[in-house]
Structure 1
């Protein structure tokens, strides 16, 4: 049976709940009939206007916080791409026909991101349910014909909850700054092995919670005519992840200097990770560059595959030696390792998953996007190439996971 065509605009306007669509800059794009009814506004008074120009806080209430709370929620949804169900809000509304006359109103809001094709937040869906009469009725039940004590208590508890949320967000922001400082202190210095044309980038996520699990490293072994490049991603974020990251990065650096190849280095790291709390399921990629034979040896532990761009513009993902993440196997076993020759003028790219993964999108789509960008910019010098890749691949709303990348011109 053929599916009937759905008129989504008609569905939107027929929804029984009050819904508005906003741009990330909080300008009204569309509202349904239920929203017009409860807000007491016409479409002409809303569409194309900034939310808080239409609905400011009640100037007669010095304790009013509805505008600040709603703005914080909507900004958070735009930055993180995560929905936010707000605590019960008192948010008074000015009478549309009698300027200066404000009506006490209570709302239960939910804010939801609407993604574009590239995963970036394109719109914000703001759904509100008015509960003013319910609160007043509960107040009358609890206090007869006297002042609705319950209403005042709910208002007080709602404000207390908002204050707790604000303190938590401030604490997360402080933890983010400390963790980022720790992260940068433990990542290698800007200097690179002599003769190696390299650019490195670490880009923190826009969210305060999703930072400090990624690392990169460059290891020079001139006596053997080799160099090693590694990247990794610890499960978890914040100070704990930054500490685990530092331990694993240092351990892999040491292993690369004594191992016969990247497979053995990751094998040793996997054994070490079993003794480090928080290291379970860390992913890592390791590539040895042999300048004498112009060959790459590589191994991946559950990590997105490194990419090799040749001078003719073809891009190959080093995906033939991928095993489970560190500590994911119940029993120890050797790590896979493969080799790939490279012509002079090639570009090697190692990166973490924040560069290619997008919510609701297949990983192959992100890898295809990376391959096209790498092929297009392969002739740039390393620093310019790293910047071009970030420009092409970062969502407009910013990365939702921290990202490390290493560009090596071979």
Structure 2
């Protein structure tokens, strides 16, 4: 007997205490009734707006650190996927009735991640306990004790600020190392002159959101080429290391395997022995210029696209299989073929180019097709740059993007 369906939105609204939901970009997604009441804000004031546009630090208080400390905590949750309980914060709030006037407020925040199916943070639960009246009551009952409490609060706030700065510097250092490692492992182009190709890699915004995206191009005998892209789940140095192992393994397999499906099968077997390689996605296309044929296979990856000379866009989506390691038993992967004409353009990419939170993937594919058709006559270098300009968010993507544009 199945239980009753649960209205989770109703449950969220009924939660005691102030609770809000934030996107990883720190934009308000929802807030319960207590949060609206205690913050003196309406849903229209919050939903869809950046947290620190709604609640900035008091510009008249040079010692204010509430916003800085809160942002550091939230960024830490996004990067680590772990809950963060903050020390008591003084975080003044601008009065809604008297603009320009700031009200002294004290908060005790707890920030927790909500993970998606791929293990990435998709939402942040921001729970706040408002303790201003408690602080004021202590002041009324004992001035000396209140002054001691305020001094302790200030000291703890300064200590937290110093810890956050050390963490920020450590994260920035790790990001630089991960980017350097990733750049060293991605191949430089040494292709024949008649292959007009452009490759691009754009890291995600954020301290450690350097993920495991890669691209690879391998010359094969008989005027053929293997082109591939892949995406390791996770971010930071660990993902960059896994990426290097898998890219090298697929590059080697492509040179000896009979087609892309067999190469991905070999990669899948190898990935079982690599920690952190599970659920990696990859797409591989073998180009045969003498027969004008694309042979392709995909392991859970967004489909490569072919921009035809007449402006139509064909997605290579007839040989799609689950990501690496998704099946407990080895099963042969599918493979399909697509004819091409001289002057067509092949485009491979990772999901950072097309996927957006709260949006169906088909929307991103339609956006990609429209951008390709709009830039039909451009050379690969120009087309690659304009695809990134058209499709990546202006504020920066929250996921890496690898891109290959190759004129057939």
Given the two structures, how large is their TM-score scaled by the length of structure 2? 0.74
Separation in 2 of the partners of 1:212 and 1:95? 41
TM superposition shift of 1:194? 3.8
Given that 1:58 and 1:94 are in contact with CA atoms closer than 8 Å, whether structure 2 keeps it comes out as no
Report the counterpart of residue 58 of structure 2 in structure 1. 55
Separation in 1 of the partners of 2:401 and 2:177? 18
Alignment of 1:54-93 (within 5 A): 55-58=58-61, 64-66=64-66, 68-69=68-69, 88-91=88-91
TM superposition shift of 1:265? 0.6
Separation in 1 of the partners of 2:57 and 2:175? 35
Report the CA distance shift for 1:68/1:233 in structure 2 as closer, same or farther (over 3 A).
closer
TM superposition shift of 1:301? 0.4
Alignment of 1:5-404 (within 5 A): 55-58=58-61, 64-66=64-66, 68-69=68-69, 88-91=88-91, 105-107=105-107, 131-137=131-137, 146-148=144-146, 149-221=148-220, 223-404=221-402
Q: Which structure has the greater CA radius of gyration?
A: 1
Give the SS at the match of 2:234.
Answer: coil
Give the SS at the match of 2:208.
Answer: coil
Report the CA distance shift for 1:182/1:205 in structure 2 as closer, same or farther (over 3 A).
same
Separation in 2 of the partners of 1:163 and 1:401? 29
Given that 1:179 and 1:239 are in contact with CA atoms closer than 8 Å, whether structure 2 keeps it comes out as yes
TM superposition shift of 1:33? 9.7
Report the counterpart of residue 43 of structure 1 in structure 2. none
Separation in 2 of the partners of 1:251 and 1:319? 24
Give the SS at the match of 2:384.
Answer: helix
TM superposition shift of 1:276? 1.1
Given that 1:283 and 1:325 are in contact with CA atoms closer than 8 Å, whether structure 2 keeps it comes out as yes
Separation in 2 of the partners of 1:102 and 1:273? 56
Separation in 1 of the partners of 2:354 and 2:94? 46
Report the CA distance shift for 1:367/1:103 in structure 2 as closer, same or farther (over 3 A).
closer
> 1:365-409: per-residue Cα shift (whole Å, max 9, x none)?
001100110111122000000001001101121111010000011
Given that 1:298 and 1:318 are in contact with CA atoms closer than 8 Å, whether structure 2 keeps it comes out as yes
Separation in 2 of the partners of 1:85 and 1:172? 19
Given that 2:56 and 2:67 are in contact with CA atoms closer than 8 Å, whether structure 1 keeps it comes out as no
Given that 1:138 and 1:151 are in contact with CA atoms closer than 8 Å, whether structure 2 keeps it comes out as no
Separation in 1 of the partners of 2:389 and 2:230? 22
Given that 1:205 and 1:400 are in contact with CA atoms closer than 8 Å, whether structure 2 keeps it comes out as yes
RMSD after superposition? 4.3
TM superposition shift of 1:90? 1.7
> 1:224-269: per-residue Cα shift (whole Å, max 9, x none)?
2211100000111111111111111111111111111000111111
Separation in 1 of the partners of 2:272 and 2:390? 37
TM superposition shift of 1:147? 2.0
TM superposition shift of 1:160? 2.9
Separation in 1 of the partners of 2:60 and 2:251? 56
- Equivalent residues, number: 357
Separation in 2 of the partners of 1:339 and 1:134? 70
Report the CA distance shift for 1:89/1:188 in structure 2 as closer, same or farther (over 3 A).
same
Separation in 1 of the partners of 2:366 and 2:342? 24
164-173 vs 380-389, greater mean Cα deviation: 164-173
Given that 2:57 and 2:91 are in contact with CA atoms closer than 8 Å, whether structure 1 keeps it comes out as no
Given the two structures, how large is their TM-score scaled by the length of structure 1? 0.74
Separation in 2 of the partners of 1:264 and 1:254? 12
TM superposition shift of 1:106? 2.4
Report the CA distance shift for 1:297/1:173 in structure 2 as closer, same or farther (over 3 A).
same
Separation in 1 of the partners of 2:350 and 2:92? 47
Separation in 1 of the partners of 2:228 and 2:246? 11
Separation in 2 of the partners of 1:197 and 1:265? 25
